[in-house]
Chains A and B, each alone.
Chain A
Amino acid sequence: MTQTQQHTISVLVENKPGVLARVALLFSRRGYNIESLAVSITENPKISRMTVVVNGDEQEVEQITKQLHKLIDVSKVQDYIDVPIIARELALIKVNAEVNNRTAILQLVEIFRGRVIDMSDKTFVIEVTGGNDKIDALEKLLEPYGIRELVRTGRIAMARGIRGM
């Protein structure tokens, strides 16, 4: 048995009602765990793109991609395991920012190339993009100040270079 790895899978689907439900049902019915799922429009208004992150060995992920292919509304499935990709995620973090902590937090945000996009007398809202590791790291560093709210988009990904899907 091959080892379990994290796979990033891009799925092109028809932009029709119920497509998200079909994909989500497939994952739950076959017992696959989704680490993250992001859905958006694409350059083609008739097509949506889903980026799914799953953990599994080669055989499991091959089965996932084949089952996805069987859905009539799915037109393309690409597992990026052997392809150099750019993968990004965006997070919004609402963190406690008392006056005496603000400088320290701003430094952290600077180091992580994030931005403070909103503030109140007690909080910052920080926007940060990057790979999961980077966001995880920032999250950990902000935790001592008290994270009030956190939301992440899930990973989106694209192959490097000229190569398309």
Chain B
Amino acid sequence: MRVKGSRALLESLKREGVDTIFGYPGGAVIPIYDMIYQFPDIRHILVRHEQGAGHMAEGYALATGKVGVCLATSGPGATNLVTPLADAMMDSVPLVAITGQVRSNLIGTDAFQEADITGITMPITKHNWLVRDVTQLPEIVAEAFHIARSGRPGPVLIDIPRDIAEAEFEYTPVESVDIPTFKPTTRGHSVQIKRAAEFIADAKKPILYVGGGANHAYAYKEVRELAEKINTPVTTTLKGLGAFPETHPLSLGMLGMHGTAYANYAVSECDLLIAVGARFDDRVTGKVAEWVPNAKIIHIDIDPAEIGKVLLADVPIVGDVKAILTELNKVVKAKMHPEWVSQINKLKQDFPLHYPNDGVLHGQYVIEQIGEVSDHKAICVTDVGQHQMWAAQFFKCEMPRQFVTSGGLGTMGFGLPAAIGAQFGAPDKTVFCVTGDGSIQMCIQELMVATIYKLPIKICILNNQFLGMVRQWQELFQGNRYSSVDMEAAPDFVKLAEAYGAHAIRCFNPSGVRAALEEAMSITDRPTVLDFRISKEENVYPMIPSGGTIHQMVVQRPPDMVPLDSYIASEMYMGEDDQAAPAEEEKETVPVPRAQ
């Protein structure tokens, strides 16, 4: 069949099962958009900024497990995809980005809207292509999807010059892909799996450390089976949240810089660390050399380059996490660790997550209520900052792919578009977007998309009128010098939301939170923006300072005038007096409730 490149592109996308594309048109992609117009099976979501398209595709991919697709024009359209691509690369999100390019004969001439996007995105994609010959287009699309979803998932980019999209050629669909240089290992080495089982048999204080790889691999059941069979507490990374139910008695919640104190203590004491699809990120380990001083390490990961990158593993197993755990569960012997588990339960009792109960509205309370009002079944999409850490601590995920967040890159502005993408991918689920007054303003224009498509997303702005996480660091480490973090001058989020056609609620008091959330739950034909005016200077605790160790963990706000380093948790853990939560002295800074 003789067709244009643009038709071959759309046919190829259809063959890959693409039903939704997030994109924005422009000169170089006009031929592709003309063809989209003729493909009713493929829904095109017109975003308001290409960055939104990229994050929507990410949210869609993270919520569904399918490959997300975004489309942008050449030059500025393409460069606006750079942040989502870098984000997807860090968090292993399967993404296919398609960009237009200037006509082939103009490439390299600094033509209008020309940018070397394949050059720019080389380090932030798994692979990318500049299509130079239209006959190769079908094969490139097939390879792109194969690479994006296989092995360790990740983003790819296809750059298509305008003349290639317009060129006619004899199109034959690609039936199968074979890339000799890309053969990811999926099955774990059986000898290594047996060795892992032996290490597990010998361990007295094992910990499962579960990362985003377990979510990507849908290894939820397998993780749970292993944990229960060998009676081993489970801590997850930020990206691993949902891979093990946080309501489970063996759950330790999240570990790391803002992880639970008990997860971090447990990890520091363990004698066997079973890493499952996790990459020993610096926000998890702090000072690597002192992180798990007494532990042997079993490291299960699909990416061989992650093995030994940060810490040497005693038993490395490369392959698909789900496949490996299935095999491991067959050979591992059931075990009980009553002493270890009771030691950990004691830690849980001694160092629970907590926040001041002082009648002031705190972000943590809002998150707890979101969890309750949605029966912990909602998809929780976050932005980046304090609200993100509170969501990770207090939402209590129960299901895989329930927690959608920007982990590795830490992209403010991710939340709203990702929530939109997640809702498109999972139309039957309740989607909450937990964001901050800083983050929401980075991609707020996408609210229009949520309104147009009647997406009932609940956008909860934890508004402390600060760039709270930076302010927290400035408070703790820069002597309260609050440099450029004041966000008091902000739009009226309620009016702004209404201008976009969304429902809007403002809330000042803990007593109003539940009603506000229930009102939002009752709105099903448009997004709801909830402006929660939370206490201005609440911090995220526990906290292990960057590059620090468990001994520097601060579990709660020190009383005024007490230097930080004299209030570190280890002293409390060593049995110093059990200091009660200090009274918050920030009444004056809390916004005065106003009539709505």
Interface residues of A (CB under 8 A from B): 14, 17-18, 21-22, 25-26, 29, 59, 62-63, 66-67, 69-75
Contacts and interface: CB of A to CB of B under 8 A. Distances in A.
A29 B307 CA distance: 19
26 contacts: A17-B130, A17-B132, A18-B118, A18-B119, A18-B130, A21-B119, A21-B122, A22-B122, A25-B122, A25-B123, A26-B123, A29-B123, A59-B308, A59-B312, A62-B308, A63-B305, A63-B309, A67-B305, A69-B304, A70-B126, A70-B303, A72-B127, A72-B147, A72-B179, A73-B127, A74-B181
The contact size tier of chain B is: 20 to 34
A69 B312 CA distance: 19
Nearest to A26: B123
B575 interface: no
Interface in B295-319: 303-305, 307-309, 312
Interface of B: 118-119, 122-123, 126-127, 130, 132, 147, 179-182, 303-305, 307-309, 312
Task: Give me the 4 closest cross-chain CB pairs, A-B, nearest first.
Answer: A66-B305, A72-B127, A75-B181, A29-B123
B122 A14 contact: no
Contacts of A67: 305
Nearest to A65: B305
Given A18-B122, A22-B122, A29-B123, A69 B179 contact: no
A73 B180 CA distance: 9
Nearest to A63: B309
B453 to A, nearest CB: 35
By CB atoms of chain B within 10 A, which of A29, A70, A71 has the most? A70
Contacts of A29: 123
Contacts of B305: 63, 66-67, 69-70
Nearest to A62: B308
A39 B345 CA distance: 59
Given A21-B119, A25-B122, A72-B127, 6 more contacts: A17-B132, A18-B118, A18-B119, A25-B123, A63-B308, A75-B180
Given A18-B122, A25-B122, A63-B308, A73 B181 contact: yes
Contacts of B182: 72
A73 B127 CA distance: 9
Nearest to A29: B123
A17 B303 CA distance: 26
